[in-house]
Structure 1
Amino acid sequence: MVTITWHGHACVSITLSNGYTIVIDPHDGGSLGLKPPSVKGDLILVTHTHFDHNAVEVVRKDKSRVLMEFAGESRLDNVVVKGFVTYHDKAQGRRRGKNYVYVVQAEGVRVAHLGDIGHVPSGDVLTELTGVDLLILPVGGTFTIDAREAWETVEKAKPVNAMPIHYWVRGLNLPIAPVDDFLKLVKGYEVVKLPTNTFKLEDYKGKVVVPSPP
């Protein structure tokens, strides 16, 4: 049983049936006007080192393992992590640098987190994303792909489920768009707005899952 929890902005945790927890892109809360993540990670993944994605100390345990801006493949504690170089902009990183996409495989499911990707993925990255059980992707624009580019990504990758992140919510002090701009474009998937910020991945198929802000 794999549990997905949204901790606001781009921070997502994946908790396995044995309690092992992977945290991706932690923020510190206060710098963004949000609550800090209420989770500790056995494995922490950072897609890039901008302040709103790299607050490792907030979610670290004594023996946490950290992969920061990682490209390649690594097996850690029965979890396979694949990292792919992408860009934070449409200019091959010349404006905002590189961004690392992660595909996490554990307990028979694959979960992809696109970080702050600034362009629609293609080539080997898109091939790896195709058919994942959950595609977690930014939709708020300004610093990342916008709603239309995010939906184009979903249409190309054809994940089992998708989950929008990195969009404006009450309190957030970044100039990005709300999730509704993305949800208006959704076709072929049922949009499920949850009353909580957490869900069991096995309970969903063919959904765009929108957890509540924590």
Structure 2
Amino acid sequence: MDEATGYIEYMGQASVKIETPEGKVIYIDPYAGDDYADAADLILVTHGHFDHNALDLIENRSDDCVIITQNEATESGGYHQFDLGFAKVIPVQAGFNRMHDVRSCVGYIIELSDGTSVYVTGDTSTTEDMRDGTLASMGIDYAFWCSDGVYNMDTQEASDAARMVGARVNIPYHNSTANRPPMFDETLAESFDAPGALVLNPGDKIYLD
């Protein structure tokens, strides 16, 4: 742990953990991995499928822990932003395929208090706001790209979408349909071809810079 900078940990499948520079803990799409001991300050869920929504894994939660799912993110239509001080949560489009309806799925951009931004696509194919430059205009630092080619984009489509968005660091994730660890296909990950591509294996961390 580096309290001065914070970190992002890839836990497997679509599960990501962020520790902010203040030491706040954010879990995204809990399911894979076993690093859930730290008290959650924020939990984000992109949609209701079981491999994104295992909230029972997070038993340790701060007294003011906030849970945001696709339901809160899209309540009454539109996309609702949430400013928690240590992080601003910006829901964005996800879905656009036969398994994931845009009306019941979101991705998230998390803007940390030090200016670092992290984008998790959730389960999706290419979205309108990838194509039209909306996401590119946001200057994203780290982006996680789903790429299993069965329930969402394959690596080629994910690579093309990553070029549209132009994040500084692009990370393939959710690229396995297996329900047992490691729930990650390193061969597919290595075929992800985008500027700033970085392969993280489950358990790997990036310290924020």
Scaled to the shorter chain, the TM-score interval is 0.7 to 0.9
**Structure 2 gap segments, 5+ residues each:** 74-78
Aligned residue pairs, count? 191
Deviation at 1:123, TM superposition (A): 3.0
Q: Distance in 1 between matches of 2:99 and 2:132?
A: 18
Aligned counterpart for 2:88 among listed residues 80, 103, 115: 80
CA contact 1:88–1:99 (8 Å) conserved in 2: no
The answer to whether 1:120 aligns with 2:118 is no
Q: Deviations for 1:16-75, whole angstroms, at most 9, x for unmatched residues?
A: 122101111001x5xxxxx44434421000000111101122125142210010132110
TM-score normalized by the length of structure 1: 0.76
**CA positional deviation for 1:91:** 8.1
- Note the 1:96-115 alignment, pairs <5 A: 98-106=104-112, 107-115=114-122
Equivalent of 2:27 in 2, 23, 27: 23
CA distance in 2, matches of 1:195, 1:90: 28
Q: Aligned partners of 1:100 and 1:142: how far apart in 2?
A: 18
Match of 1:93 among 89, 93, 101: 101
| Structure whose residues are more often strand by fraction | 1
Percent identical pairs in the alignment equals 22
TM-score by length of 2: 0.78
The yes-or-no answer on 1:129 pairing with 2:129 is no
Distance 2:100 2:147 in 1: 20
Distance 1:181 1:127 in 2: 27
CA offsets 1:120-166 (integer angstroms, 9 cap, x no match): 12237863432300011111121111111110111111110011111
Contact 1:132/1:160, CA 8 A, preserved across alignment: yes
Q: What is the alpha-carbon distance in structure 2 between the residues aligned to residue 186 and residue 85 of structure 1? A: 23
Paired with 1:109 and 1:201, the residues of 2 have a C-alpha distance of 8
In angstroms, what is the RMSD of aligned CA positions? 2.9
Matched, 1:154 2:165: no
Instruction: Give the match for residue 76 of structure 2.
Output: none
Distance 1:128 1:24, change over 3 A: farther
Q: Which consecutive residues of structure 1, in runs of 5 or more, have no partner in the other structure? A: 30-34, 203-214
Specify the SS of the correspondent of 1:180. helix
Matched to 2:82, the amino acid is S
User: Amino acid of the residue matched to residue 110 of structure 2?
Assistant: V
What SS class does the counterpart of residue 4 from structure 1 fall into?
A: strand
Q: Which residue of the other structure, out of 10, 14, 21, is the alignment partner of 2:18?
A: 14
SS for the counterpart of 2:105 is strand
| 1:90 Cα offset (Å) | 5.2
Are residues 179 and 126 of structure 1, via their aligned partners in 2, closer, same or farther at CA, if it must alter by over 3 Å? farther
Mapping for residues 46-61 of structure 1, pairs under 5 Å: 46-60=45-59, 61=61
Q: Name the SS for the 1:156 alignment partner.
A: helix
List per-residue Cα deviations over 1:161-185 (Å, max 9, x = no partner): 011111239x7449x9824234335
